[in-house]
Amino acid sequence: MKKEDTVKLISSDGFEFVVDKEAAMVSQTIRNMLTSPGSFAERQHGEVTFPEISTTILEKICQYFYWHLEFASGKDREFPIEPELTLELMMAANYLHT
Amino acid sequence: MTYFDYGNISSMGGACSRKQERNNEDGLCRGFSRKFCKCGSLKWWTSSFSYSSMDLRIQKGECPSLLDLCIQKISEDLDRHNTFSMLPRDISQQIFNNLVYSQRLTRGSLETFRDCALQDLYLGEYAGVDDSWMDVISSQGSSLLSVDLSGSDVTDFGLTYLKDCQSLISLNLNYCDQISDHGVECISGLSNLTNLSFRRNDSLSSQGMSAFSGLVNLAKLDLERCPGIHGGIVHLQGLTKLKSLNMKWCNCITDSDMKPLSELASLTSLEISCSKVTDFGISFLRGLQKLALLNLEGCLVTSACLDSLAELPALSNLNLNRCNLSDNGCEKFSRLENLKVLNLGFNDIGDTCLAHLKGLTKLESLNLDSCKIGDEGLVNLTGHKHLICLELSDTEVGNNGLEHLSGLSSLEKINLSFTVVSDSGLRKLCGISSLKSLNLDAYQITDAGLATLTSLTGLTDLDLFGARITDVGTNYLKKFKNLRSLEICSGGLTDAGVKNIKELSSLMCLNLSQNSHLTDKTLELIAGLTGLISLNLSKSRITTAGLQHLKTLKNLRSLTLESCKVTSNDIKKFRSIHLPNLVSFRPE
């Protein structure tokens, strides 16, 4: 995996997720951060920190990114959501436009 | 463009029994209850259903968003949650909408939305809504902008809760039969209301209407079918922002109720169909400079009211169906030059009257249903280049009359049902390439007539209900690739003819009822018409065994199989497994 094809997503507790850029860009918010012109640090370093999103939730979100890509390629299986995560996950999804 | 005219026209025509239905302007909305019915209005079938955003995405083959999935999940495990008040408003609003849509919201789960600052609560026709819901509704406080409680059991007491929702802009209390004058008093202080709807309220009296005088921002007021409001219109006098007033089917309304309306300078739309208003009452409307739409259907007015109407400079849309018009005095029609929509159906008028419509060249829609007009009258329409919609059902129009219409290059809809037009006359229509909707529901139309129309490739709606179309004729249908709605019901079709119909991949409404030779083979043939929303094969040889072919019709909302070898239980069983969208079926 070439570095420029990936992006590092960092949770509030400092945990780092390295994911394909294509996956991360499922989120409209991350897409904007990585592509809009200007000197976003995110764009330069391929790193985005989410001080409001916990590791558990960010992991779930990364899973969703890949699930979304699979869906687009025709794989239709259920995306499991643990009931205790739903509210927090929903707020994050709302923030990430995902 | 306005609603009532085109709506009526698009669904117009058919056998006499069906026509009766249309006497009632609500006919469209009661499509469910009609037996061997027409497809009904396609517009209705395609627009009256709301989808959640998730369903919409999935329908389009798009991936559900994570937010959608979470909302779905919450709806499923609702009992795990006690409150959503910590969520941002837009999210709790989406959860609420989803619960209403999926019918999961109950009085108990409503509690989770206490103090959520929700803006819109659309609970119209929602089961179980009563006074006990009002406390949580009012807890949204000044965030609340729009509430729909139509069809609920909310009473006058329940409405007291709304007093504190001072931001309310829109309130719908249609069909709330436990609300009376006292309830109206409770909302009299909601001065931000712009939209208030109060249909079919038997208890609302003229006295109760005094509460409306405080609603100074009201722009739209709907009092349709309120039988006790006579005398109360005076309380609307000060509502200078009122633009739209609906008093259809309020047969208590008389001339004296028209007087207060003369003060409503902002009024653009007034509907008083089926009231007791006469020519004298109409004279009070003269000063209404902005009045664009006037619905007088079924009023006691005569051509004498045309003097008053000529003084309404903005009038563009006039419904005079079922009034007491005659040729006598109708020369005044020539003064109504700005009319775009004119409904004159079911009046005792003939070609003499039509001569006075010659100068109304801005007309886009003209309804002459059941008037005594003939071929010669139509010569007066040759200059109506903007005419989009022409209703000639049940007139004396024949083949010679169509000659005069052949140059109407904007014409999209024409209804020639129950006229004396025959196959040879249809040639005159074949050059009107703008035509989209054609009603030829008449016994003398046959395959030969259809053969002359194949150049009309833009047709989307074709009604051949009573025309004698056989399998031979269906060969010509293949030219109409854009057909969304088709009716052929005179009994001449067999499965062989349906082979041609199966090519019409845009079809959404198909009525082949009363073709008693059709068998389960027909169902097999149409299995590929996956866009179908409504299907009627009543009085055919369809059996329960044939239903399996309908599995693919996932969009089907209405299925009518009366007098077939299919029982209600068969359909129910099949629906539960294969047709999740089926909301109406017969036998039921």
The reply to whether residue B70 touches residue A68, judged by beta carbons under 8 angstroms, is: no
Instruction: Say if B413 falls within a structural domain.
Output: no
> Which pLDDT does position B42 carry in this prediction?
52
Determine contact: B56 vs chain A, CB below 8 A.
no
Give B187-238 pLDDT, tens digit per residue: 999 999 999 999 999 999 999 999 999 999 999 999 999 999 999 999 999 9
Cα(B98)–Cα(B54) distance, rounded to whole angstroms?
9
Q: How confident is the model at residue B433 (pLDDT cuts 50, 70, 90)?
A: very high
> Which pLDDT does position A33 carry in this prediction?
87
A38: left (phi over 0), alpha (psi -120 to 50) or beta: left
Domain that holds residue B102: 64-118
Please compute the mean of the pLDDT values over residues B533-541 and round it to a whole number.
97
Spans of all domains in chain A: 3-96
Q: How confident is the model at residue B306 (pLDDT cuts 50, 70, 90)?
A: very high
Write out chain B residues lying below 8 Å of A90, CB-based: 67, 70-71, 74, 87, 91
Of B63, B66, B81, the CB nearest to A93: B66
Sheet holding A47-49: strands in order across? A16-20, A6-10, A47-49
Nearest CA in chain B to A64: B66
Strands (E), B56-194: 120-122, 146-148, 170-172
Cα(A52)–Cα(B222) distance, rounded to whole angstroms?
48
Q: What is the pTM of this model?
A: 0.86
* Amino acid, single-letter form, for residue A81: I
Of A71, A81, A94, the CB nearest to B63: A71
3-state secondary structure at position A8: strand
Give B4-47 pLDDT, tens digit per residue: 333 333 333 333 333 433 344 333 333 333 333 444 455 555 44
Residue listed under structure tokens 């309908």: B550
Mean pLDDT of the residues in chain B = 91
Nearest CA in chain A to B90: A94
Determine contact: B59 vs chain A, CB below 8 A.
no
Closest CA to B396 of B417, B369, B373: B373
Give A24-36 pLDDT, tens digit per residue: 999 999 998 888 7
Instruction: Out of B13-22, B65-74, B155-164, B333-342, pick the least confident.
Output: B13-22
> Which pLDDT does position B39 carry in this prediction?
45
Give A65-97 pLDDT, tens digit per residue: 999 999 988 887 899 999 999 999 999 999 999
Instruction: Say if B180 falls within a structural domain.
Output: no
Write out chain A residues lying below 8 Å of B71, CB-based: 90
Task: Say how many C-beta atoms besides its own lie within 10 A of residue B34's C-beta.
Answer: 15
Determine contact: B88 vs chain A, CB below 8 A.
yes
| 3-class SS string, B375-429 | CHHHHHHCCCCCCCEEECCCCCCCHHHHHHHCCCCCCCEEECCCCCCCHHHHHHH
> Which pLDDT does position B359 carry in this prediction?
96
Checking B366-369 for CB contacts under 8 A at 24+ apart, the result is B366/B341, B366/B342, B366/B390, B366/B391, B367/B5, B367/B8, B367/B9, B367/B321, B367/B342, B367/B343, B367/B391, B368/B344, B368/B392, B368/B395, B369/B12, B369/B321, B369/B345, B369/B393, B369/B394, B369/B395, B369/B415
The reply to whether residue A93 touches residue B90, judged by beta carbons under 8 angstroms, is: no
Q: Could you give the percent of chain A with pLDDT greater than 90?
A: 70
pLDDT at B172 over 90: yes
Cα(B484)–Cα(B508) distance, rounded to whole angstroms?
5
> Which pLDDT does position B232 carry in this prediction?
97
Nearest CA in chain A to B83: A87
What ipTM is given for this predicted complex? 0.95
**Fold entry, domain A3-96:** Potassium Channel Kv1.1; Chain A (3.30.710)
The reply to whether residue A86 touches residue B73, judged by beta carbons under 8 angstroms, is: yes
Distance from CA of A26 to the nearest CA of B (A): 9
Of A68, A71, A93, the CB nearest to B67: A93
Interface test with chain B among A90, A94, A96, A97, by most B beta carbons within 10 Å = A90
Give B478-525 pLDDT, tens digit per residue: 999 999 999 999 999 999 999 999 999 999 999 999 999 999 999 999
CA A78, chain centre distance (Å):
19
The reply to whether residue B69 touches residue A68, judged by beta carbons under 8 angstroms, is: no
Instruction: Out of B25-34, B410-419, B459-468, pick the least confident.
Output: B25-34
Q: How many CB pairs under 8 A join A and B?
A: 43
Are residues B476 and B458 in contact, defined by beta-carbon separation less than 8 angstroms?
A: no
Write out chain B residues lying below 8 Å of A83, CB-based: 73, 77, 80
Please compute the mean of the pLDDT values over residues B166-172 and round it to a whole number.
98
> Which pLDDT does position A34 carry in this prediction?
85
Cα(A24)–Cα(A98) distance, rounded to whole angstroms?
10
Are residues B401 and B423 in contact, defined by beta-carbon separation less than 8 angstroms?
A: no
Write out chain A residues lying below 8 Å of B67, CB-based: 90, 93-94, 98
Mean pLDDT of the residues in chain A = 90
Counted domains in chain B: 1
Q: How confident is the model at residue B245 (pLDDT cuts 50, 70, 90)?
A: very high
B304: which 2 tokens?
Answer: 């004498």
Instruction: Say if B424 falls within a structural domain.
Output: no
Instruction: Say if B92 falls within a structural domain.
Output: yes
> Which pLDDT does position B62 carry in this prediction?
80
Distance from CA of A21 to the nearest CA of B (A): 18
**Helix segments in B291-356, DSSP class H:** 306-309, 351-355
Write out chain B residues lying below 8 Å of A93, CB-based: 65-67, 70
